[in-house]
Structure 1
Amino acid sequence: MRANYKMQRLYIEAALSAGASIEASPEQFNYLANVLRYEAGTELLLFNGRDGEWKARVEFPSRKKIVMMAVEQTRPQPAPCDLMFLFAPLKVGRMDYLVQKAVEMGAGILQPVMTQHVQGKVGSIDRLQANAVEAAEQCGVLAIPKVKAPQKLKDLLDAWPTDRRIIFCDEDSSTQNPLQALSAIRERRLALLVGPEGGFSDEERQLLRSRDFVTAIPLGPRILRADTAAVAAMAVIQATVGDWA
């Protein structure tokens, strides 16, 4: 069932079921009452990443309190997205964009990876998680990706489960077409690794290519910024070996 983009969607942490009553947080109260200017009886959509999506009705038991009453489920909870997105942190504004697009493209786990040429840093996991929630609210996603703590590239590879293949964007690939490499992949559990603005170092590239569970792909003849490369790579992966296929 497709998402309803005409109704406001709101992420909550409480359990959802028919007749459930959820009190809006102070931030949600301000947004619904003062920004959207909702009145009693206005309907919206609620989701928590576990119980599917529910139509709810806004009620005002007092002037400073909003309660959202779950009426009926509009979409069941889908299976969580399994694609892992591994990325070198960027500067704040562009990293926000990166997280938002990863959520839209079906990433199930967001893993910051510290590389030699990394230019950004992860100041707050909570901020990135909130960014992922906001993206899910806006684009109709019901499963909220989990943002994990940053890891160094070598540490990540040393502890990596061999039944999940890493696809990494290699700007020094000898070809320009990623389809040949992707068509050879047989694993269903996948991860995408996108490096920093400065690219992977020669040492990191050798390290990646030395692992049996890593596949390098090119992204065409043009030089792409890291955030653009991430969107392009996720699109081609989802279309060939991911959930679009």
Structure 2
Amino acid sequence: MATPRLHLDQPLQAGREIPASPGQAHYLGGVLRRAAGDPVLLFNGADGEWAGRIASLRKDRCTLLPERQTRPQEPAPACRLLVAAVKRDAMDWMVEKATELGIGAIQPVLTRRSITDRVNLARLAAIAQEAAEQCERLTVPRLAPAAPLHAILEAWDGTPLLVGDERRDSPPLAALAQGLPPGGAWAWLVGPEGGFERAELDDLRRRAFVSTASLGPRILRAETAAVAGLAVLQALAGDW
């Protein structure tokens, strides 16, 4: 059986028991049918990955015992995904896949054509955590509260921002990615269903840190464009 891997919000030290959440306790005991003494892998985004054991387990109560570090901590990825808020199922899927693809931070964006202005950060954080546990990441992506596009641009830190342009009159994303420093900081912005309004694209294009990019001859759904773009960027300018 595969060893369960859990993210915790507490320091990891050899011999120091740590309480699991009620959900983690149910997962270990009720879903996986594990018991006290069974092995687990633990990480918290700061202390690397640790091999340990289930110290105690009863219904929704569980304690875990780290024993030895198996992987040292690595820096959090500098790459970011900015995506216009979309319907819940699509947003959930994007967060899961962006986590698997190694993104360091996810920023929901409110645009003029956004179909929702509500984003359940707690739900998305849980999805990101579960994806990080399963894909053997040592960090969980940071999730920022949804914010208007203009406000995000005004507060931007100068990191290269590549923006999906559904009009297809921009350079291919692959060409732009090859001009980025390998492993450096970059961000990928995808608009809403129906695309950015012209005024929004004009605002983006006038900013020195922005480059608009084409994703080919076909119109993609927002969630497809987000994941396809991340795959290209990770392959050409990321940690792949």
TM-score per shorter chain, which class? over 0.9
Q: Which residue of 2 aligns with 1:16?
A: 12
Q: Residue 44 of structure 2 contacts residue 138 of structure 2 at CA under 8 Å; is this kept in 1? A: yes
Shift of 1:225: 0.8
Q: Which residue of 2 aligns with 1:26?
A: 22
Deviates more, 1:118-127 or 1:132-141: 118-127
Shift of 1:61: 7.3
**Corresponding residue to 1:6 among 2, 6, 17:** 2
Write the letter of the residue equivalent to 2:36.
A
Q: Residue 25 of structure 2 contacts residue 59 of structure 2 at CA under 8 Å; is this kept in 1? A: no
Gaps of 5+ in 2: none
Mapped partners of 1:228, 1:172: distance in 2: 16
Aligned pair 1:82/2:78, yes or no?
A: yes
Shift of 1:134: 1.2
Aligned pair 1:35/2:31, yes or no?
A: yes
Matched residue of 1:155: which SS?
helix
TM-score if structure 1 supplies the norm length? 0.91
**Corresponding residue to 1:121 among 112, 117, 124:** 117
Write the letter of the residue equivalent to 1:103.
T
Shift of 1:52: 0.8
**Corresponding residue to 1:214 among 189, 201, 210:** 210
Q: How many residues were matched structurally?
A: 239
Write the letter of the residue equivalent to 1:177.
P
Deviates more, 1:52-61 or 1:224-233: 52-61
Aligned CA distance change for structure 1 residues 179 and 63 (closer, same or farther; 3 Å): closer
Aligned pair 1:169/2:138, yes or no?
A: no
Deviates more, 1:16-25 or 1:231-240: 16-25
Write the letter of the residue equivalent to 1:224.
L
Aligned pair 1:146/2:142, yes or no?
A: yes
Mapped partners of 2:84, 2:137: distance in 1: 24
Shift of 1:159: 1.4
Shift of 1:223: 1.4
Shift of 1:94: 1.1
Mapped partners of 1:160, 1:221: distance in 2: 30
Aligned pair 1:135/2:131, yes or no?
A: yes
Q: Residue 173 of structure 1 contacts residue 216 of structure 1 at CA under 8 Å; is this kept in 2? A: no
Mapped partners of 1:120, 1:134: distance in 2: 25
Q: Which residue of 2 aligns with 1:156?
A: 152
Q: Which residue of 1 aligns with 2:195?
A: 199
Q: Residue 11 of structure 1 contacts residue 133 of structure 1 at CA under 8 Å; is this kept in 2? A: yes
Shift of 1:74: 1.4
Aligned pair 1:179/2:138, yes or no?
A: no
Mapped partners of 2:22, 2:80: distance in 1: 33
Matched residue of 1:157: which SS?
helix
Q: Residue 91 of structure 1 contacts residue 121 of structure 1 at CA under 8 Å; is this kept in 2? A: no
Identity across aligned pairs (percent)? Answer: 42
Aligned CA distance change for structure 1 residues 63 and 113 (closer, same or farther; 3 Å): closer
TM-score if structure 2 supplies the norm length? 0.93
Shift of 1:35: 1.7
Mapped partners of 1:27, 1:9: distance in 2: 14
Aligned pair 1:230/2:226, yes or no?
A: yes
Gaps of 5+ in 1: none
Mapped partners of 2:21, 2:175: distance in 1: 50
Q: Which residue of 2 aligns with 1:67?
A: 63
Q: Which residue of 1 aligns with 2:43?
A: 47
